[in-house]
Chain A
Amino acid sequence: MRFLTIPARNLSRRPVRSILTALGVALAVAGFVVLTGFSQGMERAWTTSLIERDVHMTAVPRGTVEILTASIDESVAARLAAFDGIRDASAELADMVMLPSGQPVLAVGWPPRSFLWQTLRLSAGRLPAAMPSDTAVLGQGLAGALRLGPGGTFRLLGTPLAVSAVFRPSGVINNNMVIVPLPTLQRLLNRPGKVTVLDLRLLQPGDPARVSAVRARLAAAFPDLTFTETRSVADSNDILRLVRAMAWGISLIALAMGLFAVLNTLLMSVTERVREFGVLSALGWSPGRVLAMVVLEGLVLSVAGSAAGIVLGIGGLRWLAQAPMLRGLVEPETGARLLLEVAAVTLVLGVAGSLYPAARAVRIQPVDALKYE
């Protein structure tokens, strides 16, 4: 018999209670997976959308919380493009808009000759040298959902636009994006001459020291703007930080409930088995061995619960990502980082939930067992 057999058999003594406890842990872990996977997925989606456009740095007005409501004069892009260390700069206007079908999409406007157009990997159609004002390029996901291809037309904010091309992005945000010439979107959103963000390409993006130096000089020259490297966008975005903090906050509450479920079950179990702990001590089991047995019971419960929770959580996350209001904004993030976090959470739940009951079990003396004879 392996040592692990003993705690496993102890838990099988009251299967309904053990299953319900594991279910409590499963729900807590599923909540954790959904919420942190959601926030991590959002971060990844935003970062990927910038990286695949070959943007190295972005600029937004200082103090901006919600990037879509930011407002910068589009002429700043030309001044940035002429700055030492900058290869290209492009203005960009972005906003969430609702299509007539009720689907929310990210509408983006780029200047007709922006470098950003060249970063699109087209799967159908072609890009004219300068985009006409009544045309649009659609992400493949959106084109599929609208059943549109090159030559097709659709309405954006009441204005008919012709699809000139469809592009194949890797990120979910770009996949559900509609891109139109900047003047067109400025007119549709009633924001003439204004943009929300400035996208920069650097001359030497691979040299961290030079990138930092350029950023410092930019910050000095444009004190009203905040410059952020693309890879740090998720960390510096207040909305994403808020989502991340809320995800962790709610997850912690769920996990605390899971912890109390384990604690309560093991405490009941120890109370019911006073005699057995006394007998184990009488048979020469050391306090450490008794402690290990109870902690293992907690770990068995939390590992079983976590395994079920991961499955539930991933299912929930995929469902959430397909929900009409969120489709195109999040991609379920269930990578190694999340699994490592779940493993850590499982360990904490199992150990923390069982330490107090285990300490009580250890204090039981052999003679206590014999009082029950």
Chain B
Amino acid sequence: MTDPIVALEQVSRGYDGGRVIALRDVTLAVRPGEFVAVIGPSGSGKSTLLHLLCGLDRPTAGRVLFRGTEPASPVEWTKVRARHVGFVFQAFHLFPTLTALENVEIPMFGVVADRGARRRRARELLSRVGLARRLDHRPGELSGGERQRVAIARSLANSPLLIGADEPTGNLDSRASEEVLDLLEDIQRRDGTCLILATHNRKVASRAGRLVELGDGRVVSDRCAS
């Protein structure tokens, strides 16, 4: 069995000085190429778990290991995110003053030094998500589905090992949702990129190969999808 990309060891995450516990004593490993759906009701800790797995948050107890080692500082985690992690938000979080092409270039600053190379890569990724004709459009000129596709292209900018997606279809209609999920699944299958998707929607989760179910901050079940 291959080594995990990211692993949580007895991780807890509390807020407000420990009065609110979002995640309790979770141990979990995610391996390369896996498509993991994190499911559970609202407030069960899905987003917190996803943020910890993608290095966006720090645990209050336990360890988060990325490729076998625990990044020593927030700056180390920043480097991990820059080079190895892509993230897709429910609300897209594109920069409104930048075009689709420029939005995709954003994560490449600091990783790809050559301006022309950044532009070529962004163009290639937007073509891949079906937006070759929308390169110079700003987010306000795109539909919800198109915006999420730009966000997916952005998450792929630095060829990550892992993509985290937090309710990526939460703001989309059913048709756009299907398109976005097809795209994410295609990326996971063709590139071998590990995909971790947090959702409360069981139909969306049914596409994953592995289901991690949370309840009240604990892992209730962790199984292969049938």
Residue A367 is within 8 A (CB to CB) of chain B in the complex: yes
Interface residue from B47, B57, B93, B110 paired with A285 (Cβ < 8 Å) = B110
CB pair B93 A6 closer than 8 Å: no
Residue B1 is within 8 A (CB to CB) of chain A in the complex: no
Residue B130 is within 8 A (CB to CB) of chain A in the complex: no
Q: Which residues of A contact B83 (CB under 8 A)?
A: 284
Residue B34 is within 8 A (CB to CB) of chain A in the complex: no
Among A46-54, A150-158, A174-182, A273-281, the one that faces the other chain is A273-281
Among B3-11, B73-81, B178-186, B215-223, the one that faces the other chain is B73-81
Among B35-43, B98-106, B187-195, B204-212, the one that faces the other chain is B98-106
CB pair B51 A284 closer than 8 Å: no
Q: Which residues of A contact B47 (CB under 8 A)?
A: 370
- Given the known inter-chain contacts A13-B96, A367-B57, please indicate yes or no for A286 contacting B110, CB distance below 8 A: yes
Specify the chain B residue showing the minimal Cβ separation from A11. Answer: B97
- Given the known inter-chain contacts A366-B51, A367-B56, please indicate yes or no for A279 contacting B78, CB distance below 8 A: no
Q: What's the Cα separation between A1 and B119 when bound, in Å?
A: 7
Residue A5 is within 8 A (CB to CB) of chain B in the complex: yes
How many residues of B are in contact with the other chain, CB < 8 A? 36
Interface residue from A3, A6, A9, A284 paired with B111 (Cβ < 8 Å) = A284
CB pair A279 B110 closer than 8 Å: no
Residue A323 is within 8 A (CB to CB) of chain B in the complex: no
CB pair B95 A276 closer than 8 Å: yes
Residue A16 is within 8 A (CB to CB) of chain B in the complex: no
Q: Which residues of B contact A286 (CB under 8 A)?
A: 75, 78-79, 82, 110
Centre residue among B109, B154, B166 by max chain A CB count within 10 A: B109
Q: Which residues of A contact B57 (CB under 8 A)?
A: 365-367
CB pair B107 A370 closer than 8 Å: no
- The dominant DSSP class at the A interface is helix
Question: How far, in Å, is B72 (CB) from chain A's closest CB?
Answer: 15
Interface residues of A in 330-373 (CB under 8 A from B): 365-367, 369-370, 372-373
Among B25-33, B62-70, B84-92, the one that faces the other chain is B84-92
Question: How far, in Å, is B11 (CB) from chain A's closest CB?
Answer: 14
Q: Which residues of B contact A367 (CB under 8 A)?
A: 51, 56-57
Interface residue from B56, B97, B101 paired with A282 (Cβ < 8 Å) = B56
Q: Which residues of A contact B96 (CB under 8 A)?
A: 13
Residue A241 is within 8 A (CB to CB) of chain B in the complex: no
Q: What's the Cα separation between A366 and B79 when bound, in Å?
A: 13
Centre residue among A5, A9, A284, A370 by max chain B CB count within 10 A: A284
CB pair B90 A289 closer than 8 Å: no
Question: How far, in Å, is A327 (CB) from chain B's closest CB?
Answer: 50
Q: What's the Cα separation between A289 and B51 when bound, in Å?
A: 22
CB pair A282 B110 closer than 8 Å: no
Residue A186 is within 8 A (CB to CB) of chain B in the complex: no
Interface residues of A in 124-142 (CB under 8 A from B): none
Residue A316 is within 8 A (CB to CB) of chain B in the complex: no
Q: Which residues of A contact B110 (CB under 8 A)?
A: 284-286, 289
Centre residue among B85, B96, B101, B106 by max chain A CB count within 10 A: B106
Question: How far, in Å, is A19 (CB) from chain B's closest CB?
Answer: 16
Residue B148 is within 8 A (CB to CB) of chain A in the complex: no
Q: What's the Cα separation between A235 and B85 when bound, in Å?
A: 63
Question: How far, in Å, is A366 (CB) from chain B's closest CB?
Answer: 4
Interface residues of A in 270-318 (CB under 8 A from B): 275-276, 279-287, 289
CB pair A6 B56 closer than 8 Å: no
Question: How far, in Å, is A266 (CB) from chain B's closest CB?
Answer: 16
Residue B158 is within 8 A (CB to CB) of chain A in the complex: yes
Q: What's the Cα separation between A10 and B95 when bound, in Å?
A: 9
Specify the chain B residue showing the minimal Cβ separation from A273. Answer: B95
Centre residue among A2, A285, A367, A370 by max chain B CB count within 10 A: A370
Centre residue among B96, B102, B110 by max chain A CB count within 10 A: B110
Interface residue from A9, A281, A370 paired with B78 (Cβ < 8 Å) = A281
Interface residue from B78, B101, B109 paired with A3 (Cβ < 8 Å) = B109
Question: How far, in Å, is A193 (CB) from chain B's closest CB?
Answer: 77
Residue A212 is within 8 A (CB to CB) of chain B in the complex: no
- Given the known inter-chain contacts A9-B98, A13-B97, A373-B89, please indicate yes or no for A287 contacting B106, CB distance below 8 A: no
Residue A123 is within 8 A (CB to CB) of chain B in the complex: no
Q: What's the Cα separation between A183 and B64 when bound, in Å?
A: 97
Residue B147 is within 8 A (CB to CB) of chain A in the complex: no
Residues of B near any A CB (own CB < 8 A)? 47, 51, 54, 56-57, 74-75, 78-79, 81-83, 85, 87, 89-91, 93, 95-98, 101-102, 105-107, 109-111, 115, 118-119, 154, 158, 166
Interface pairs (23), CB distance under 8 Å: A1-B115, A1-B119, A9-B97, A13-B97, A276-B93, A280-B106, A281-B81, A282-B87, A283-B81, A283-B106, A283-B107, A284-B78, A284-B79, A284-B85, A285-B107, A287-B75, A289-B109, A365-B56, A366-B56, A366-B57, A370-B56, A372-B91, A373-B166
* 17 more CB-based (< 8 A) A-B contacts, given A365-B57, A366-B56: A2-B115, A6-B106, A13-B96, A281-B81, A283-B154, A284-B79, A284-B81, A284-B85, A284-B107, A284-B111, A284-B158, A286-B79, A287-B78, A289-B110, A366-B81, A370-B56, A372-B91
